[in-house]
Structure 1
Amino acid sequence: MPSSPLKIALIGAGPAALTLASILHHHNIPFSIYESSPSPRNQGGTLDLHPSGGQLALRAAGLWEEFTKLSRPESDVMKVVRRDGVVLWDGNGADAREVGEEEKFNGRPEIDRAVLMEMLLGAVPAELIHWGKKLAEVVPGVGETYDLHFADSSTERGFDLVVGADGAWSKVRTLLTPTQPHYSGISLIELSALDVAATNPWLVQYVGRGSCFSFGEGRTIQAQRIGDGSVRTYACLRVPESFIHDCGIDWSKPDSARQEYVERYFGDCGDDLKRLVLESRDQLIPRALYQLPVGFCWDSRPGVTLIGDAAHLMTPFAGVGVNAAMVDAMELGEGIAGFVEGGLEREGKSLATVIKDYETELFPRGGKFAQKTMVNMNKHFSATGSEDLVKRLRAAYGN
């Protein structure tokens, strides 16, 4: 890779950082990635990439053709179920839409997070990713550079730009602001059922090709088909932050925990919805969801910035998180590329102004996505959550 006047560190190796890395590499701009995990993590289920979001970023990274081979446009369908089990909308059957071959990427094709990560990792030279490097602190170095101090007592020095893509509890963010995420009011259990075609054909048929949602007052059930043949299900509650620890359910015993959770909090739901949760037996992870404030921003600081969850942590109830993160990466990557390729002496430009220009666009974009997420979350957890979603679907599709 050719030399560059900039020394760049990306902290984290999730979709945001790897999209940025792919774009920088596409422009022959060197960088180093530092990731706390010893190897790639397979977190999350399937992702829908929007034409003006993740899809656009993959085009900028030169990965569009590969994406079209690995994504699942056929999974861009929804099923909506009322709390009592009545199906209000079924994109697999009565409400299915005909989509021509030339239109299949105009919507929001699904791609498994693990597949997206593998694709992005394949676009980045392996020697540029340093696994098992947990960041302890970013500190000002010599001149206008920054040094990275790691938990293993090692130090990397002299970075002109440090990009925090290190998620909810970003260490890089502390250099820009004291603001930390706060509890969203929602906790959940994440469940998996593996190889459902062979082990539970009913589950395949019930969830359908894409996603299945049931929204209601203070609780939701959401399930999605994954390309590896599994189903991932989330049973969510609006509860206090201490719920997971204080509810009295022994999460170390998944079978009894699942049964108790359903009986206590979803006992009046339709039998099929309860079965969806109870028959997802291969994994149970309790989670509390956190978010940054709507409109979160910081004062620009030369040589440091944020992308993805580090910049605008949201709950998943609008499905925009990874798209927003990949757009961040695209905008920042193309700004850096334009700066480097235009020459450091370009009149009126400095690295600091590139970062500030990026953040000027980032803040309103992130605020819009965060506001949309809050509105959606409140709708989903309302008494008429499922009915409201179906109204929007019928309006959008003219049904």
Structure 2
Amino acid sequence: MPPLKIAIIGAGPVSLTLANIFQNNDISFTIYEAADNFRTSGGTLDLHPESGQLALKEAGLWDAFVKHSRPEADCAKIVNFEGEVLWDENLCKKNDVSEEEKFAGRPEIDRKVLLEILYKNLRSDAITFGKRLDCVVSSSIYDTKYDLHFADSSREAGFDLVVGADGAWSKVRMLLSDIKPQYSGISMVEVNCSDIHANLWLLEFVGAGSMFSFGEARAVFAQRQGDGGLRVYAALRVPGDFVETCGIDWEDKDVAREELVERYFHDIHDDLKRVTLDCKDELMPRALWELPVGFTWAHRSGVTLIGDAAHLMTPFAGVGVNVGMTDALVLGREIVAAVRGAKELDDAIKEYEKEMFPRAEENAKETAEGKECHFSKDGAKIVADMMREHHVPG
């Protein structure tokens, strides 16, 4: 097979994982990223052994992950709205465990750190920044290839494969389907504390990893960050235009934080209110979107999707990035097989989609069930009982 010309659209953790797998196997590619420089924002991610961790091993980055991840942060605390602690893994964590035991769980890694690991391992010319995709069209010269049209009026032509890793509002997906993301029913406000060690109460209350509190139509959850920060999310089941129409001036973050708690969380325990109120460094409201459970598309030669572009989910099962990194693993292996002559490129893409569709549907169902559970009256108790049931004493 002659060398393939491959475009990957978007430079997130899933596309960068795929890129590293390609690079490990001497497969040429170019990533086109809309931003003018590398973006490293975002919270913490927990990578599972059978998915995210496996993909990093395939990408040749296991040692870097071990060095920079935080197994100690795989630690959950569940508190109900009355302030009762229903489950606390901080009380049963052991320090004298082997590396194999540490990584048999779901060690956390900051999204920023994961992206840096993936990005720095790539060749210097792997990513073309400042290229916001406008559309993908069939090549005007080659019947089986594609051209990329960018928002700056530039074009790149003659791609054998275009991989859409361009997130929720994927332009590549528009070539394959008319389906667009729908509002999930949940909006949330993120507030940050840049140095949790400066607030000893907050440090002790949250614990080493994450703290969750769920109830009827509301949730508060907090995640420790590797840089010493804390991200807290106050989530609400509200109409899709909540952020724009609730009347809170989000630009005035100090007033907005107080108003949010007073209006929507006034009746929860003071400790849970304090978790939100003590995070005074940043504030960002946003709606959460999702693709329908079981979303698929009719196969089209030379084009496919990975990550959020293929199966956008809310975070209420904690599987999104792991599903996406498994996409990268499976698609990467299929393309390697095609390049080595074991199968045709089109068959490789078909095999990837055949494996991915049911896997994504299963995880989307789990996420939808998690969303309903977490925002139910007894959400905290249900989650705590589930964790207790699966806990292995040691």
> Counterpart of 1:92?
90
Which letter maps to 1:304? V
> Is the Cα contact below 8 Å between 1:90 and 1:96 reproduced in 2?
no
Q: Aligned partners of 1:54 and 1:195: how far apart in 2? A: 28
Q: Aligned partners of 2:24 and 2:259: how far apart in 1? A: 51
> Counterpart of 1:193?
193
Q: Aligned partners of 1:288 and 1:27: how far apart in 2? A: 39
Q: Aligned partners of 2:354 and 2:14: how far apart in 1? A: 18
The answer to whether the aligner puts 1:393 opposite 2:357 as a matched pair is no
> Is the Cα contact below 8 Å between 2:40 and 2:116 reproduced in 1?
no
Which letter maps to 1:172? V
Which letter maps to 2:9? I
- 357, 364, 372: which one aligns with 1:363: 357
The answer to whether the aligner puts 1:315 opposite 2:305 as a matched pair is no
The answer to whether the aligner puts 1:30 opposite 2:28 as a matched pair is yes
Cα distance, 1:91 vs structure 2: 1.1
> Is the Cα contact below 8 Å between 1:308 and 1:324 reproduced in 2?
yes
Task: Among all aligned residue pairs of Structure 1 and Structure 2, give the percentage whose two residues are the same amino acid.
Answer: 56
Cα distance, 1:66 vs structure 2: 1.2
Cα distance, 1:84 vs structure 2: 1.3
Cα distance, 1:42 vs structure 2: 2.4
CA distance 1:333–1:4, shift in 2 (3 Å): farther
Which letter maps to 2:235? C
> Is the Cα contact below 8 Å between 1:91 and 1:97 reproduced in 2?
no
Q: How many residues align?
A: 390
> Is the Cα contact below 8 Å between 2:191 and 2:276 reproduced in 1?
yes
Q: Aligned partners of 2:387 and 2:95: how far apart in 1? A: 15
4+ aligned runs moved over 4 Å, structure 1? none
Q: Aligned partners of 2:2 and 2:75: how far apart in 1? A: 45
The answer to whether the aligner puts 1:382 opposite 2:376 as a matched pair is yes
| Structure 1 gaps, min length 5 | none
Q: Aligned partners of 1:182 and 1:155: how far apart in 2? A: 31
SS at match of 1:92: helix
Deviation string 1:177-205 (CA, Å, 9 cap, x unpaired) is: 000000000001011100221x2121111
> Counterpart of 1:67?
65
Deviation string 1:312-353 (CA, Å, 9 cap, x unpaired) is: 000001110000000000100110011112x2xx5xx32111
The answer to whether the aligner puts 1:109 opposite 2:103 as a matched pair is no
> Counterpart of 2:259?
260
Which letter maps to 2:375? F
Deviation string 1:100-142 (CA, Å, 9 cap, x unpaired) is: 2131100000000000000000121121100110000100002
Q: Aligned partners of 1:298 and 1:126: how far apart in 2? A: 34
> Counterpart of 2:241?
242
Which letter maps to 1:395? E
The answer to whether the aligner puts 1:124 opposite 2:122 as a matched pair is yes
Which letter maps to 2:121? A
| Structure 2 gaps, min length 5 | none
Q: Aligned partners of 2:243 and 2:116: how far apart in 1? A: 32
The answer to whether the aligner puts 1:277 opposite 2:276 as a matched pair is yes
SS at match of 1:127: coil
Which letter maps to 2:144? E
CA distance 1:11–1:255, shift in 2 (3 Å): same
TM-score after normalising by structure 2: 0.97
Q: Aligned partners of 1:283 and 1:209: how far apart in 2? A: 21
> Counterpart of 2:348?
354
